[in-house]
Copies of this chain bind each other. A is one copy, B any other.
Amino acid sequence: MTAMPGTKFALGIDFGTESGRVMLVRADNGEEVAWSLVPYPHGVIDRALPDGTPLKADSALQDPRDYLVVLDQGVPEALRKSGVSPADVIGVGIDFTACTMLPALAGGAPLCTLPQYTANPHSWVKLWKHHAAQPQANRINELGARRGEEFLTIYGGKYSSEWFFSKLLETLEEAPEIYAAAERFLEGADWIVWQMTGRESRNECTAGYKGMWIKGRGFPSRDFFRALDPRLENVVAEKLSSAFLPLGAKAGGLTEAMAARMGLVPGAPVAAGNVDAHAGVPACGVTEPGRLAMIMGTSICHMLLGRERQIVEGMCGVVEDGIVPGYWGYEAGQSAVGDIYAWFFRVFDADPTAVTGKAARLQPGESGLLSLDWWNGNRSILVDADLSGVILGLTLATRPEEIYRALVESTAFGTRVIIDAFEQKGIPTRDIVACGGLAEKSPLVMQIFADVTGRQIRLPRSLQASGLGAAMHGAVAAGYYKDIAEAAGHMAGLQDRCYQPDPAAHAVYNQLYQEYRTLHDYFGRGANPVLKRLRAIRHK
């Protein structure tokens, strides 16, 4: 603790997939002073409920009480480690996985905590990666397309099985008694803010990116929901409506009871909820158009700001004020990146350090290989989960490190396709800020991304961009900064480390990228749907 007396602090709480992480940072400069990690006692519930009730395939549930354990244990621990006085914590912000939703009573009690519902899987939290609602998503997409619903356009033409109404419809169809008993369906992000403040609200970010909600227009019409299922006609009025809060807004003050549990001061401002990836964007110093934020791990989430709304092919979503108020927030993504590298090292039984070293010594184009990075389908811009990976150019002399490098290059080409799609619509990427595990640990990957995209790539100072972003929103909600841009100006910063594109490498990659684009369109846009037919033959 080096802070002077009078220094103020903000608390960011990052609710992840397996655990919650509490970060205490200085409000004036964003410096991290303490953190704590609390694994969820029930983790991801994907085989059976705690009472032994088995779950169907592709289920991924959580116990909402685990989120409270993060508050009960993680916040006091971080305070204790830091020696910071509770009175100096000016505000609290949270970020959450999404769509991670649950049914509750009007008072906030999750249905799964009530004895009469606890044995029903649909009463529990459906985690973002609960993938059992694909049939429902398909019907939503068919109906939405037939009716020309606007929400489809903001999602790049496809509403995901991971999202709010896919999961809600699954509950209605498979557990109508849970649907009937639910007085509210809401995001975990909003539920935990409600628990802290005693006031129900919804944040515009999650509602916009996951919940068909469009600012100024609200949800789709009763007509649409009735067409989807007559029982859904009044779902918005009966189970969803409440205040919608912009990011950085104060959702309320900590209740007496929660302040006591968390070891904070009653009434401390709590910011509206936020999605983990989106909260990280201002923490990467991205508060204006022109800079692409990439969260790079098993997959990549791409986020950009625009001055106006454009329909960009294959984007995951465009939401007004959805990332930084005042701009349209665009999200796109690649469904597998680090996962592809991990696949390589697994199937080739290869030593990552040795292979990476050899791959780094290869010149662009030297291997003669080219790959399409569709090992887990294509999210942006084709939005097609049935595509699969391709490698071309193999010879008897091809070595494993050449294949590894070609896979890395292919993921960089995938990002360039996304950048190009946005630029075509006048949403530029001047440079890139990357965070996440790959950005921190894989210099070769980062250099290839810089060389392929022709853009400088920098890294944020904080390795925990989402948690820092949550704390920044807490500081804004507390009125310490007037808005998130001002907060970013003080609390966010970039590392000196910087990946500069090499012009010679970029020139070779431009050639390879043309080949990639041709194959991308050939295999991905219907000229030769062999990849989909292979999958169909496989599943016969």
Binding site for B on A (CB under 8 A): 336, 339-340, 343, 347-350, 365-370, 375-376, 388-396, 398-400, 403, 508, 511-512, 515, 518-519, 522-523, 528, 530-531, 533-535, 537-538, 540
Contacts and interface: CB of A to CB of B under 8 A. Distances in A.
Contacts of A540: 365, 508
Nearest to A365: B537
A391 B540 CA distance: 21
Contact of A534 (B350, B368, B535): B368
Contacts of A389: 392-395, 398
Interface centre among A349, A365, A390, A537 (most CB of B within 10 A): A537
Given A388-B395, A392-B388, A394-B388, A508 B537 contact: yes
B370 A530 contact: yes
A392 B512 contact: no
Contact of A391 (B349, B368, B390, B535): B390
B392 A340 contact: no
Contact of A396 (B350, B376, B391): B376
A365 B533 contact: no
B537 A392 contact: no
Nearest to A342: B396
A367 B398 CA distance: 22
A441 to B, nearest CB: 20
Contacts of A396: 336, 339-340, 343, 375-376
A336 B396 CA distance: 9
B398 A394 contact: no
Interface of A is mostly: mixed
Nearest to A537: B365
Given A339-B396, A398-B343, A368 B518 contact: no
Given A388-B393, A389-B393, A396-B375, A511 B531 contact: no
Given A392-B388, A395-B389, A368 B530 contact: no
A522 B531 contact: no
Contacts of A336: 396
B528 A512 contact: no
Contacts of A393: 388-390, 531, 534-535
Given A347-B403, A519-B528, A522-B522, 9 more contacts: A347-B348, A347-B398, A365-B534, A368-B388, A375-B396, A390-B391, A393-B531, A512-B534, A519-B530
A52 to B, nearest CB: 29
Given A388-B368, A390-B391, A347 B399 contact: yes
Interface centre among A368, A376, A400 (most CB of B within 10 A): A368
B537 A528 contact: no
Contact of A538 (B368, B392, B403, B530): B368
Interface centre among A399, A508, A538 (most CB of B within 10 A): A538
A376 B391 CA distance: 16
Nearest to A391: B391
Contacts of A533: 511, 515
Contacts of A392: 388-390, 523, 530-531, 534
Nearest to A340: B396
A395 B400 CA distance: 17
Nearest to A530: B515
Contacts of A388: 368, 392-395
Nearest to A527: B522
Nearest to A523: B392
A348 B515 CA distance: 27
A522 to B, nearest CB: 7
